[in-house]
Amino acid sequence: MQTKSSQPTATITVTIDAFFPIGSIYPINSTLALTAGDPQVFNLSGDTLTITVPSGTPVIINYVLNDSRYVLLGIAFNPNGAGAGRKEFPQVALTRTLSNSTMSVTDASLAAFQGVHYTYVILVQEVATGSIGIIDPDIENDPV
């Protein structure tokens, strides 16, 4: 996905260590690694991504899954009083090939949502079985 050079962009590589379908006791066991992005803007600690930009500075978060056994399907936000992320995260795009999939999420960094901690899940499908599972990380928007 092409982005404007003025938009800070992060790449988070997703590795699935153990797949558990929805309905299991556990979410997918995964590892997230910040593999590209300005460390003054993006900080990934465990599974919590903190984004620090002035309000009104949109950022792009690219989640990349380089494993042909799985496909990224999308993202779902917990409403937590912020409208399920529809205003703060207005664009989600998926790109899929036979060997990997990428989900690009735009964080609008709106002033009204600075300091909000978003919980969300990433939906993943196991290609061989068609089963759907979830990865359960967090995003926190910190004001500058």
CA end-to-end span of the chain: 27
Q: pLDDT value at position 90?
A: 92
For residue 43, the Cα-to-chain-centroid distance in whole angstroms is 13
- The owner of tokens 């205003």 is 87
Q: Per residue of the chain (144 residues), give pLDDT as tens.
A: 444 457 899 999 999 999 999 999 888 999 999 999 999 999 999 888 888 988 888 999 999 999 999 999 999 988 666 666 888 899 999 999 999 999 999 999 888 888 888 888 999 999 999 999 999 887 666 655
- Domains for the chain: give ranges and CATH numbers: 9-142 (2.60.40.4140)
Is the distance from CB of 107 to CB of 75 less than 8 angstroms? no
Is the distance from CB of 107 to CB of 51 less than 8 angstroms? yes
Q: Which of 60, 73, 80 is nearest to 5 (CA)?
A: 60
Quickly list DSSP for 49-93. Answer: EEEE--TT--EEEEEEE--TTEEEEEEEE--TTTGGGTTTS-EEE
Element (H, E) at 123: strand 117-126
